[in-house]
Structure 1
Amino acid sequence: MAAVALVTENFKFVSLFFKSKDVMIFNGLIALGTVASQTAYNVFAFECPCSPGRNYLYGLATIGAPALAFFLVGIMMNNSTWDLVSECRLRSCRKLSGASAFALLGTIVGRGLVAPITWVVFSLLQGQAYMCAFSEFVDPGTVEGFPSGQGPKVMAKFPCQSSVPTELSSFGAEVERRLKFESQLTGWLLVAVMSVTVFLTLCLKRCSSPLGYQQENYWSQENKGLPLYSRLNKWATYSLENNVEAMEKEMDVIS
């Protein structure tokens, strides 16, 4: 019986762990869905116009427009957004202090940024959209052996290898390598900046909280009816109820 009780208790603890991490898991699923969507778009729908002026607009729209759409959808699907709107509409935000309003807005915006940041980062790491957008701005003079007198009209054709003049096709790999280097470097820098920002935000949140780390976790779970210190909570409850039998069972499990 003691073994069964121990297994049951451990199972409850694992369930509690995943329930307490529901935001992290949800954000992970959003990121995975965004990566799948971005990959599918690049494979089946991405089509660079390979024309000066159009390349830049198409490449930036491919990166920015879906990111903006994901951000707005994320904001709209967050219940906290509409709670805040209702509070401000009915009570003119009188019950919200500056710190609480900032924290709430930070939570809303942070959740909304998961999908768009994922889209932008993976677009940059794959490099197709960046290459399309900035190929016409590559200076031919910086490419070793490139014939002189070539302008943006020719450089804009490099994302479409079939459109590149035959005498220049041998330079396609070098131009693509250079643009993908710039694109991926930008993507990794964005990852680094966002990582540092999230780390500093969490540090600021912990430092400004009057509660300790374990206390904050306990109270955040107790608001959901799921106390983190389940055994301690049950022991206190049994003591208040003077439930000797239940206390003895707990001792059996521990021993």
Structure 2
Amino acid sequence: MDNFQTVLRFFMNQKATIGYSFMALLTIGGERVFSMVSFQCPCNHDQNFAYGLTFLLGPAGVLLILGLFFSSRLWRLYTGCCLNPMKLCPRGNCFGSLRVFMNIFSGACVAPIMWLCVALLNGTFYECAVSGLDDNLVVDLFCKNKTLKCREELARVPCDRSKLTADERMELLLMFRAQSQRMQGKWC
């Protein structure tokens, strides 16, 4: 019986770590399913950026909203503020309330940041988004010292519908992935 209580005590002491680990596994699995099942880059210069960015940031926004919505601390803060504002902000001092909200918000940001880290590590959404940019700086970065055809075919590279040679396509894809991992390193 002592062994069972020891194991139970261990799990109770580590519930935050276990919860975050479970959330990380769900995020990784969700991103993989999401990218394999529902994502296909349109390979259209006008649509790639918006489409890739939507799949990169959209789920992160939804996870942030869900994290805030399911936060019992936020509901206690909200209902306490509505029921008795003087109790929450005595004499107009709302810094305590603001501090609690910042703690709630930072806790709700865990899942979206995990999503962004996993999505940038995979790089599929980022490749699609960046290939649709028309900014000269981006095009020059990826097509520097290459033919004019590279500039024209950049939006088709993530889909393997480009008319570039296999070596040029692979080089551009590797550059997209390296840039995505660089972004992931900055944010995560």
The structural deviation recorded for 1:43 is: 1.4
Q: What number of residue pairs does the alignment pair up?
A: 179
Q: Deviations over 1:67-115 (max 9, x none)?
A: 0001101111111111011000011153356554244223311221121
Query: Amino acid of the residue matched to residue 182 of structure 1?
Result: Q
* Residue pairs, 1:67-106, within 5 angstroms: 67-92=60-85, 94-96=87-89, 98=94, 100-106=96-102
* Structure 2: segments with no counterpart, 5+ residues: 133-137
Match among 34, 56, 60 for residue 49 of structure 2: 56
The whole-number CA distance in structure 2 between the counterparts of 1:172 and 1:36 is 28
Which residue of structure 2 lines up, in the alignment, with residue 126 of structure 1?
122
Q: Is the 8 A contact 1:87 1:93 kept in 2?
A: no
The whole-number CA distance in structure 2 between the counterparts of 1:185 and 1:126 is 12
Q: TM-score scaled to structure 2, two decimals? A: 0.84
The whole-number CA distance in structure 2 between the counterparts of 1:119 and 1:138 is 27
* Structure 1: segments with no counterpart, 5+ residues: 1-6, 192-255
Q: Is the 8 A contact 2:127 2:173 kept in 1?
A: yes
Which residue of structure 2 lines up, in the alignment, with residue 156 of structure 1?
155
Change (3 A) 1:19 1:133: same
Greater relative contact order (CA < 8 Å, ≥ 6 in sequence):
2
Change (3 A) 1:21 1:104: farther
Match among 10, 14, 20 for residue 27 of structure 1: 20
Which residue of structure 2 lines up, in the alignment, with residue 236 of structure 1?
none
Change (3 A) 1:100 1:23: farther
Query: Amino acid of the residue matched to residue 147 of structure 2?
Result: P
Change (3 A) 1:110 1:25: farther
Change (3 A) 1:39 1:76: same
The DSSP-based 3-state class of the residue aligned with 2:41 is: coil
Change (3 A) 1:14 1:150: closer
Change (3 A) 1:54 1:18: same
Change (3 A) 1:149 1:20: closer
Q: TM-score scaled to structure 1, two decimals? A: 0.64
Query: Amino acid of the residue matched to residue 112 of structure 1?
Result: A
Identity of aligned pairs, percent?
Answer: 25
The structural deviation recorded for 1:44 is: 1.6
The structural deviation recorded for 1:141 is: 4.3
RMSD between aligned alpha carbons? 2.1
Change (3 A) 1:185 1:35: same
Q: Is the 8 A contact 2:63 2:111 kept in 1?
A: yes
Q: Is the 8 A contact 1:30 1:114 kept in 2?
A: no
Structure (1 or 2) with the larger CA radius of gyration: 1
* Residue pairs, 1:1-255, within 5 angstroms: 8=2, 11-92=4-85, 94-96=87-89, 98=94, 100-136=96-132, 137-139=138-140, 141-142=143-144, 144=145, 146-148=146-148, 150-151=150-151, 153-161=152-160, 163-165=161-163, 167-191=164-188
The structural deviation recorded for 1:128 is: 0.8
